[in-house]
Each structure stands twice: as structure tokens, then as C-alpha cells.
Structure 1
């Protein structure tokens, strides 16, 4: 039986941490959410406002820490694997608000420096195309998702339309000014490079202590079940596959 202490709970980065000089930013996210995550940013919106834009009912928004959201996700995968009451969560209340469902995606939202964000652990729902389209009505949005296999997907949308969407390891015709293809192919760590460009180009960041904060959260029913953790694929292999594919073009 899983207990709350067994779940990953993000804590503030200490001064001596090797990532402590990142000034929050985004580059710490893959390490903190090592089994996959997604995040969408919406300009000029509040945390609650972003959740409502993508379909959350105000009456069903509930403040949760990252550890509590993860406990709910684990329960939805395997109801016998965790005792929600034992980790301080009200099972009846969660069920009433729609959090307990096999296909539920739990998103937590915050807002910093003119951008609202909604982040999901163990899933990519917050970076789905329809999320970007709904959230960007009247504004602009950026989303980033990364699976446990290191598959990355980036989208940029404005006024309800996807402007650009691509896989940074195989960007194809996508060539946004804030992501230079040549630099990407020579980067030591592709996800760190992409996230650093999102930081510098849009001023995006997620506070490193967001995991310990009770942020507004809502549950969304996915059209498919969230991907389960699978075997990781090495970054070097992915890069070699991509370079081999482009060499013959």
C-alpha cells in the first residue's frame, strides 16, 4: 500500500543544489517530473481563469499539492494501491468533484508574471491540441509535454488557432525564431535546450516550490487513458535516429 511519504513531492531548490542557479525557470521540470509531465502557459490569465477556459467547473476546483494530485492519479490507475483517506484526502469529496475516474487528468494551475500555467504529472493532457485552442482564445499560449521515453511536443497558439506544433527532435518544417534547429541538434540535452529557449523567448517559468503549494486543481476526463510508465529510451539513440533520418534527405 502506497503512503504519502512514498510519493514525489517537489520541495524548494536549496542554494547548494546543482540546479539552484536556474532562478526557477523551466529546466528543473524534467528532473522533478521524471516520469513525464505536461504544462500549458496562457498569457494574461489567472490560475482559476485558465482552468475555467479549458473546461473546469468553478464548483469543482479544489486546492491540491503536487503530492496530493499524484496520489489521486495513482488511485485512478489502481484503486487498491493507495488509501486516499490515509494520506489525508477526502475520497467522497474527490469523487463528488469528479477527480476519481480511470481516465481523469488532474491539472494544477498557478500564475506568475503575466502568465498562468496548468501542469500535469504523469500525463500529457494539458498539452493537447484542444487545450491550446481553448486556452488561447483572445490571447496566446505555449505548451510543452515530455513523456518518460523523452518524447517532447511543443505547441504555440494564438486566438484559438495552433500557429506551430512540432517535435524538437524532428522539427520538420517548423522553424520558430525562438528554437534554432542547428543549435538543437548540437545541444548536449535537448529538453534543457528547448526549455531554456522557452524561458528566454517568452519569460516563462514555474516556481520551484509549486509542488508544495496547494494550487487550484481540476479534473478532466481524457478521451484515452493516460500513458503508463514504460522503458526509457536513451537520448543518444534518439539523436542518432534523427540524424540518420535527415542525412539521406
Structure 2
């Protein structure tokens, strides 16, 4: 019995980015997203989100209220910088690693799929604060399927049929999208990963 994926929609009402990469470690996923291995640091969901909010504030503030967070360590690793506008956490399940962010800032700003999917396959799903969704499927550097489940007829991938989807033109809600990907690939994310400290990286959406 797994925790499935539907709970992600319920736990992230203001949007989320969820990426699965087959046959990799969490640290490898973060490196492929642009992190340096030596800068990876374990964070809970709350800590990662608070760092993003703090960095986006007009006047950055102290994070001393986060019990147990090593402020000196995260500052030394570059998490507390204005250029750091995305904090992504990564974990592992059977045969896959996942990366999760409580926003779509990184996945919507960076062309990360070609690098992330080199030698493997990647499934990415996101939903922003305006309820706009995106599902993408990439294999060995090629984005085969990329579309908004709200308008599935418009697919930007090289081979739209590569990602098996319900009847052509069917519109699916966010929970239905997550449940479909769970059934199709056996994907899931442990609920307790929210409180656990997972490997995390401070990333920037600007430049390349």
C-alpha cells in the first residue's frame, strides 16, 4: 500500500512541481537540475518554503523561528541569497527519484528536461497558483509529450502518443491527472516526506 499522489494536490493548494526521474538518486536529480553536489542540504517542506518566501521578501528576515534549522549551514551553502528563488527537495521510491517544489517557479522558467532525462525517462507534472496544469514526458533528452491537461489536444511534444492518456480530448482535473500518472507508472510520494529532511538544493531561475 502506497500513499499515492492525490494527497499532493490537497497538500499544495497554491501549486506544486513534481518531477520523477527513473533509475537515479535524489542527489543526481538535483545535480541535473543545476545544483552542485556539495551544496545539497537536507530540509523539510516547511523549511524549504520559508527560505523561498524569505528570499523573495522586500526585506529578508531571520529564520530563527524554524526550530532545528542550521541557519549558518544554509547561509554558507547559498540558500539565503536573493538569487536563490527556488528550493527543490528530492527523495526516492522504488526505481524512481522525485523532486518536489511548492511552486512552479523552476519548472516553468528553466528548460531542464533534456538534461534531466539523459539516459533515462522523466515524468513531470505541475499546477500553478492559477490552476494551470502541465504534464510532460521526456526520454533520453527528448521531450516526447508536453501539454496542459485542460486542453490536451494541443501537445508540444515530438511524439504526443508516447504518453498514454485517456480518450483523446478528455479534460482532467488535477487530482485525476495525478491518479492517472500513479496508475500508469506506479508513481507515488510518501506523505511523511513533508516532515522528513530530504536532500534539497538552492536554485536560480535566471540565466543558464
TM-score by length of 1: 0.73
| CA displacement, residues 141-169 of structure 1 (integer Å, 9 cap, x when unaligned) | 00011012110011100111111100011
1:178 equivalent among 155, 164, 180: 164
| CA displacement, residues 83-103 of structure 1 (integer Å, 9 cap, x when unaligned) | 312223344432321212334
- Equivalent runs, 1:210-249 vs 2, <5 Å: 210-223=193-206
| CA displacement, residues 168-192 of structure 1 (integer Å, 9 cap, x when unaligned) | 111224454532245833x5xx111
Residue of structure 2 in register with 1:16 after alignment: none
* Distance (Å, rounded) in 2 between the aligned partners of 1:67 and 1:142: 25
5+ residue gaps in structure 2?
none
1:30 to 2:13 alignment: no
CA RMSD of aligned residues (A): 2.2
Higher RCO (CA 8 Å, separation ≥ 6 residues): 2
* Distance (Å, rounded) in 2 between the aligned partners of 1:209 and 1:151: 27
Residue of structure 1 in register with 2:43 after alignment: 64
1:49 equivalent among 28, 33, 54: 28
* Distance (Å, rounded) in 2 between the aligned partners of 1:77 and 1:54: 21
* Distance (Å, rounded) in 2 between the aligned partners of 1:222 and 1:129: 6
* Distance (Å, rounded) in 1 between the aligned partners of 2:33 and 2:108: 11
CA contact (8 A) 2:152 2:170 kept: no
5+ residue gaps in structure 1?
1-21, 225-249
1:98 to 2:84 alignment: no
* Distance (Å, rounded) in 2 between the aligned partners of 1:165 and 1:195: 15
Question: What displacement does 1:58 show?
Answer: 1.2
